[in-house]
Amino acid sequence: MDQPDNIAAQLHAARTLEVGGRANEATGLLRRVAGSGNVAAVAALGKHLLIYRPDCAGEGLNTLSAAAQRGDGESARLLSVFIAEGIGFPQNWRAALAALQHAAELGWQAAQSELRFLVTEFGRTRALANPDSEARRWGALVESIDVSHWLQAPPGSLISSAPRILFVKNFASPAICERLIELARPRMQAAQIYDRESGKTRYDGTRTNSDCPIILPFSDLVLALVRARIAALIRMPVPFFETPTMLHYKPGETFAPHHDYLDDSKPGFSAEIAQNGQRVVTFLLYLNDGFEGGETEFPLVGVRCKGNKGDALCFWNVLPNGSPDRQTIHAGLPPTQGEKWLLSQWVRNIPM
């Protein structure tokens, strides 16, 4: 049996392969190390497969489940996100919270912090009277969480009927907005655009802000709940959602006028539409205050929108008959002072 020091060295070697873009080699190494039965190695393999090998997602979830059953707290917390999103498991909020409780009981601090946050935002009561065990303490927290009201669609006001643009006050609390920013901050990178001819992403001078797609292994139940509330607002299920993306604009950074729908007259986009459907809805959640400028502008209809922290903007990129609505051309104007943070959620017309 491999000694702990040897296993730690091999896990480090696998991480080096991942960083170097050699995911397949890392997979082989991690599978060999996990074969030793070491819980940390099994957990590392599961997480690796979900992040770097989406073609092996089923194996990744099974591996993560095995690690969680054997006492790995991080694996239990990751499972809670997949259960909440209904990926690989039936979507079930109570089961997702139970998985998060399991992670907290195993001592995973991120899970413990997340549970406390959920109680602050969604707790029915703050009274947790001297539980007589650690497990009962986390169980009491979970029992106090009630997300039913949150999952109801919030009211919105139509600020344009053609194109259809909806504005929602106080879609999310300031605390949720701040948590979403911190979820993305360590992984922000220069944003790219889709090339209309190839369908691939590339850097372009028309877009100078940064972004961070939040894939599920880096997500949490808070973001899952935000996505569920978006689904209630637009009356489209979460499986139709793309990966959520955090956007960041420093002073002077911009995204020039563009459409979010995919133009089927372009070869790169027609192939994408055939495989994954049309991008029919754009949802934006304003995550901070304290900046000047930075409006979302629709130049063809004379609309400029700038929400306060927690407000949301939603617009439909296609007409009722499903054809692209060319009036939805819009721009992310540059902040003139301060920085701007947004959550962007694109929605397709078929499940992703």
H helices present in 86-169, as ranges = 93-105, 109-122, 134-144
Q: Where are the beta strands (DSSP E) in 216-294?
A: 245-249, 255-258, 279-286, 292-293
Percent of the chain having pLDDT more than 90?
87
DSSP letters spanning 327-346: GG-EEEPPEEES-EEEEEEE
pLDDT of 127: 46
Are residues 300 and 327 in contact, defined by beta-carbon separation less than 8 angstroms?
yes
Mean pLDDT taken over the chain: 93
Judge whether residue 323 has pLDDT over 80.
Answer: yes
- In percent, the amount of the chain with pLDDT more than 70 equals 96
How many Cβ atoms are within 10 Å of 54's Cβ, its own excluded? Answer: 10
Q: Which fold has domain 4-144?
A: 1.25.40
pLDDT at res. 2: 60
CA distances from 29 to 7, 47, 50, 91, 111 (A): 11, 14, 16, 33, 28
Q: Where are the domains of the chain?
A: 4-144, 157-348
* CA angle 211–183–143, rounded 5-degree value: 145
Rounded Cα distance between 214 and 236, Å, is 20
pLDDT digits over 161-204, tens only?
Answer: 999 999 999 999 999 999 999 999 999 999 998 887 777 889 99
Tell me whether domains 4-144 and 157-348 share a fold. Answer: no
pLDDT over 50 (residue 53):
yes
Task: Examine the pLDDT at 17 and tell me if it is beyond 50.
Answer: yes
pLDDT at 243 over 80: yes
| Residue 4 predicted with pLDDT over 80 | no
Tell whether the model's pLDDT for residue 132 goes beyond 80: no
Mean pLDDT for 42-56 is 95
Contact 128, 141 (CB under 8 A): yes
Averaged pLDDT, 298-325: 96
138, pLDDT greater than 70? yes
How much is the pTM?
A: 0.93
Mean pLDDT value across residues 198-212? 90
pLDDT of 253 over the 90 cut: yes
Tell me the average pLDDT across 317-327: 96
Going across the sheet that includes 296-298, the strands are 255-258, 330-332, 296-298, 303-305
State which CATH number among 1.10.3720.10, 3.40.1380.10, 2.60.120.620, 3.40.50.1110 fits the domain covering 157-348.
2.60.120.620
Average pLDDT over residues 27-33: 96
pLDDT value of residue 1: 46
Tell me what the mean pLDDT of segment 93-112 comes to.
96
Is there a contact between 76 and 68 (Cβ–Cβ < 8 Å)? yes
Read off the pLDDT band of 82 (50, 70, 90).
very high
Report the alpha-carbon angle 243-220-35, nearest 5. 90
